[in-house]
Amino acid sequence: MPELPEVETVRRGLSPAMEGVVIQRADVNRPDLRWPFPERMAERLTGQRVDRLRRRSKYILADLNSGETLLIHLGMSGRMTVSGDPLGQFAHKHPMPEKHDHVVFHMANGARITFNDPRRFGAMDLLSTATAEDHKLLSVLGPEPLGNDFHEQHLIEAFKGKNSPVKSALLDQGIVAGLGNIYVCEALYRGKVSPRRKAGQISASRVGALVPIIRHVLQDAIEAGGSSLRDFRQADGELGYFQHSFDVYGREGRPCRTGGCSGEIKRITQSGRSSFYCAQCQR
């Protein structure tokens, strides 16, 4: 399931193909994904220039010159593929159409962007750019973890009196947007905080220390995604999934990597999801 760094990598990969470029034609091959597509979606996209491609949490937002914004969510299994050879930039030939190619954008620069999603948990919607933040999916979101509104005081306030485990508190999209299971595990490991500890019982200084740690964890992953983009020409044009090694996630039974710690990584289930942590150095 793509997390924030993967979505940011997709956004960066799409940018040269889409930003400043007119959508010549959009093929919408079915009526819905997770939810029905907006009315006349293909028509509303056709002929529009993508003025800006931005990201909010795990949503990609394409601001169009019509005053509408196309919201794209990759869901569980959504993939974006760029093909075509405009200006020699996108070295991938257009692939044969595949079964789950639900939406295809034909760009005026010759690029073709294909959205493929076998499980159809993805979503697309068209909203007014001016009031985009009021959209039901966006209005519930807390600050961006890499933005200025996510700071120590914010997290300290948000955790005050909270009885839920810190793991759940950090997954709460209203506290901080876009954090998912993998990067919460990694951040708590770096912060030496047990995922089981109640959010409200962690000292303010340790909570505050999580803020720069969360930023670094995400930035490291975005950097790894950036290297995958540089290899993009050799790959198959598919964006967003890249090799990245984790310190704790998926390392059950392996030795803890913290210097001087002889612990072993454990896996527990919290709210139906796996938490990986070292019980010796994460307190």
Active site residues: 2-3, 58, 273
Between 146 and 261, whose beta carbon lies closer to Zn ion? Answer: 261
Cα 186 to the center of its chain, rounded Å = 16
Q: How far is the CB of 266 from Zn ion (least distance, A)?
A: 10
**Greatest CA separation found in the chain?**
61
What string marks each residue from 263 to 282 as x (binds Zn ion by CB under 5 A) or -?
Answer: x--------------x-xx-
In the bound state with Zn ion, the residue whose beta carbon lies nearer, of 200 and 263, is 263
Instruction: Identify the burial level of 39 via C-beta atoms within 10 angstroms of its C-beta, where 0-12 means exposed, 13-18 middle and 19 or more buried.
Output: exposed
Using CB under 5 A, pick the residue from 261, 267, 270, 274 that binds Zn ion: 261
| Residue in 59, 81, 83 with CA at minimum distance from that of residue 70 | 59
Q: Where are the beta strands (DSSP E) in the chain?
A: 23-28, 50-56, 59-64, 68-73, 79-83, 101-107, 112-116, 123-128, 238-239, 265-270, 273-278
Distance from C-alpha of 94 to C-alpha of 87, rounded to nearest angstrom = 15
Q: Which two tokens stand for residue 149?
A: 């509104």
Provide, rounded to whole angstroms, the least separation between the CB of residue 256 and Zn ion. 3
- Give the residue with the Cβ less far from Zn ion, 233 or 283: 283
Which span (1-9, 37-45, 195-203, 250-258) binds Zn ion, by CB under 5 A? 250-258
For Zn ion, the binding residue among 258, 268, 270, 274 (CB under 5 A) is: 258
Looking from the CA of 59 toward its CB, the CA atoms found within 13 Å total 25
One of 256, 266, 276, 277 touching Zn ion (CB under 5 A): 256
- Would you say 159 or 277 has its CB closer to Zn ion? 277
**Contact footprint for Zn ion (CB under 5 A):** 256, 258, 261, 263, 278, 280-281
